């Protein structure tokens, strides 16, 4: 029987990695976060602190608990510091080559032979990452949604190589420890949510591109006509145009269906650095 997961590793200190790390630490786990380089370690620590301070300011974290949670969080630039982890979540950008390289390295540095190696990928088939290791049976997808602290869902994705008990351990950790709701998806690009969501978002981009309606009217139509909490173009801006483009590319590569092909407008905006909220400008202006 596997030991309970107490030591967690996170590769990547962006929005998803930070959110997952903080959630684990708030639920009593010791967490080591690997940042991209020594130069970004201090920025990673600051990002973790700011996330906790925001939670405390909103009354979601008792002020007296902030230091205790911070004490359970550490940031490093060395993957070797994840050697003792029982679960490692990769949360780097949607770049297949980068993710394969990380899983290849994790296979060498994580010492526990029963450790779960998980990916937060939103689109890449898990078996492609599993094949980068000598323990494909222990590789699983754990796709959280942004912001991790707020969104209740996680998709659990087992490849053809994943052992059932590893899938079940990952799901139990997400639900019992982190308090999330889980759905189980087959190992196909986009999984459940993005395979349905991305064609909808791309359709909104195509509608804008064709001149059929303005961005404001497209989003207002879905807000007021369908009761959606956010319009599709505002949602693309929040996710990041580059991320939406990468997921669309992965879906099109898998299924070869036109509805998954990124529209030229999306591609040109990505080329121009108009990535949405994180760049200050996307389909709407955030400057």
Q: pLDDT, tens digit, for every residue of 77-129?
A: 999 999 999 999 999 999 999 999 999 999 999 999 999 999 999 999 999 99
42 is catalytic: no
CA pair distance 136, 133, nearest whole angstrom: 6
Q: Give the right CATH number for 195-279 from 1.10.1040.10, 1.20.970.10, 3.30.1600.10, 3.20.20.140.
A: 1.10.1040.10
What pTM value is reported for the model?
0.92
DSSP 266: H
Is residue 1 over pLDDT 80?
no
Q: Delimit the domains of the chain by residue range.
A: 7-185, 195-279
Q: pLDDT, tens digit, for every residue of 251-271?
A: 999 999 999 999 999 999 999
143 is catalytic: yes
Of 120, 138, 143, 159, the active-site residue reads 143
Q: pLDDT, tens digit, for every residue of 175-218?
A: 999 999 999 999 999 999 999 999 999 999 999 999 999 999 99
149 is catalytic: no
Of 74, 119, 138, 155, the active-site residue reads 155
> Helices marked H in the chain — which ranges?
15-26, 41-57, 66-71, 96-109, 126-130, 164-172, 193-209, 215-226, 232-239, 241-255, 264-271
CA 196 to chain CA centroid, nearest Å: 17
Mean pLDDT of 50-69: 87
Same fold: 7-185 with 195-279: no
**CATH number for the domain formed by residue range(s) 7-185:** 3.40.50.720
Of 122, 149, 159, 185, the active-site residue reads 122
């Amino acid at each position: 029987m596997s030991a309970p997961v107490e030591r967690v590793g996170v590769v990547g200190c962006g929005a998803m990695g930070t959110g997952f790390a903080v959630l684990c630490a708030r639920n009593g786990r010791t967490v080591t976060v690997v940042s991209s380089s020594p130069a970004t370690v201090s920025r990673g620590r600051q990002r973790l602190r700011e996330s906790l301070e925001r939670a405390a300011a909103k009354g979601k974290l008792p002020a007296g608990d902030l230091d205790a949670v911070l004490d359970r969080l550490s940031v490093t630039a060395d993957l070797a510091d994840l050697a003792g982890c029982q679960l490692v979540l990769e949360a780097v950008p949607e770049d297949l080559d980068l993710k394969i390289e990380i899983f290849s390295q994790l296979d060498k540095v994580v010492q526990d032979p029963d450790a779960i190696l998980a990916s937060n990928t939103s689109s890449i088939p898990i078996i492609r990452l599993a094949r980068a290791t000598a323990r494909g049976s222990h590789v699983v997808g754990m796709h959280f949604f942004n912001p991790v602290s707020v969104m209740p869902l996680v998709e659990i994705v087992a490849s053809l190589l994943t052992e059932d008990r590893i899938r079940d351990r990952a799901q139990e950790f997400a639900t019992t420890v982190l308090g999330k709701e889980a759905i189980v998806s087959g190992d196909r690009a986009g999984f459940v949510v993005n395979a349905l969501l991305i064609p909808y978002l791309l359709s909104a981009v195509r509608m804008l591109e064709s001149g059929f309606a303005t961005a404001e009217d497209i989003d207002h139509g879905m807000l007021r006509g369908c009761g959606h909490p956010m319009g599709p173009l505002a949602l693309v801006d929040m996710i990041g145009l580059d991320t939406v483009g990468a997921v669309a590319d992965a879906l099109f590569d898998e299924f070869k269906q036109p509805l998954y092909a990124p529209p030229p407008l999306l591609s040109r905006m990505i080329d121009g650095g108009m990535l949405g909220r994180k760049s200050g400008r996307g389909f709407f202006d955030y400057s």
